[in-house]
Structure 1
Amino acid sequence: MIKFKIFKQIGSIIPIPVFRKILEFFKHYFVGLYKKIDEYNLFFAGAGIAYSLFLGMIPLILLVFSLLSNLFDVKTLQNQIFQIIDTVIPYPVYASYMKKVIETRLPEFVGYRTIAGYTGAIGLLITSTWIFSSMRTILNRIFHTTIQKNPFVGLLRDLGMVLLLVIFITLSTFVFPIVNLILEVAQTSHVMSSFNVSALWNSVVWVSSLLIMIIMFFSLYYLIPYEKLPKRVALMSAFWTTLLWELARNVFGYYIQYFFSSNALYGAFALIVVILFWVYYSSCIFIIGAEIGQLYRERLSVKSKNK
């Protein structure tokens, strides 16, 4: 009787069929996501990806910086590294500390860029399999992929993903200097003089960073699993991962600000703790994005069967 009254009141506001569709939507995505998080042990799987990322982070940084140092002078390279730091470590205090370390060590690094490049390449040959194999294992399970391939084929795919990631990072470094040049020209233009170019630049950097994140996550979701996913499923996963990543960045920022403001943790130790937490949170968000994509895929499958 009470349920009937509740539905009657709801029906006076919105049609019952529409309300049922809303309930089905919430049940499918929110309840379904909760069940999948519990089923696939999100926090344990996130720790596995984070551990693999830590192992491959140093050789990847060495290789990318070695390649970039052959393309740019020290000052330009420093600006590009600072831009990457602002994206990866989106908390000013710890990003500033990292920038100071980079600024003092970068000239020395450029002098040994050839050795750093070889060291990074050899290190990636060893660690790339761990990074992308852990991602592939988790994504194959989430997307219910049963396809198995030869381990040698898997190794070649992992090396291909590393090469693609290096090319992607290298190309992305050209975006901000080009946009910066356009805005510098705009500052001297009479037409653009009435606009706040600084605010425009901040907006462009923010939007560009989001687009780069979406493209990167789309590539990971689309290329890593052995099964070829529909592009819109991979795009849906990439979109929600980027959105949740941006949301987590702000929430995590408040947490970091509160936690470290009340604890005597400074310098390198604080930076290490921040990076550890952030990589772990990002790994968990990456898995959640994949699970949302699978829920979207299941919903598309049900709709196609009902037609």
Structure 2
Amino acid sequence: MSSPALSPAYRHSILTRIFGTSRPHIITLAAIIMLALIVLAAIFAPLLSAHDPVLMVPSERLKPPSADHLLGTDAMGRDLWARILFGGRVSLIVGAGATLGAVVIGLPLGLLSGYFRRLDPVIMRIMDGLMAIPGILLAVALIAIIRPSLTTVIIAILIPEIPSVVRLARARVLTAREEPYVEAARLLGTRGPTMLVRHLLPNTVAPIVVQSAYIFAAAILTEAALSFLGVGISAETPSWGNIMADGRLYFSIKPSLIFWPALALTLTILSINIIGDALRDALDPKTSKRKG
């Protein structure tokens, strides 16, 4: 006996609740379009700018916007438009890598913690220890210990996010264990991995998807904060945080050096959070009933 599958009608109702009505909700739709454009711009960055984002041309420093430099140049003569496009690549990779890592590590631990009572105290005490340390401080400490790089930043950001995934998955498993279909499967002799994969894992997918959206946004913001503080990705690598860090010294004479990367960062995080809220409202039965 397996957990109930999602029927086409139920999938349609989820999509309907995501957009608020049978017609797409304008705010959610705008967020999806905005995020899609940002992702496509990052993917096709080499096609959208003919300039090298790391090439320094001192004679072109602090140039205003022009046909050759759409957003002007920074203090090193680098094209700002190119740096924002390629910086989006770095920020999105960090967000995706941290989210994927947190889910891949946290979801199995949450399933094991919720199902096996002997493992629960051990796993949860480790998670409590990680949660006791502020995420940004833990990230800074890890980066200080290990040589700064893109991989190091991703690892430093994902580790503080693991406890939230573990606790959420554990809570869903503890609730699902009392469901009739789980009891029936247990009476039929289903045990261990089969029980976890076939009956308990499907119940954690929806909340984990919602949580992943918030982790994605938080990871991008954390990377920008770390880079702005000078403890993230190396200064030579364009990222939205690095671009703002480079421009802060020239803010009084050219505020656009901070404005444009900050705008890209804001639109990305805002879009992800709006999509996450829409998914939460669609997949949370209590919210759905209130709206119904």
Global fold match (TM > 0.5): no
TM-score, normalised on structure 2? 0.29
Higher share in helix: 1
TM-score, normalised on structure 1? 0.28
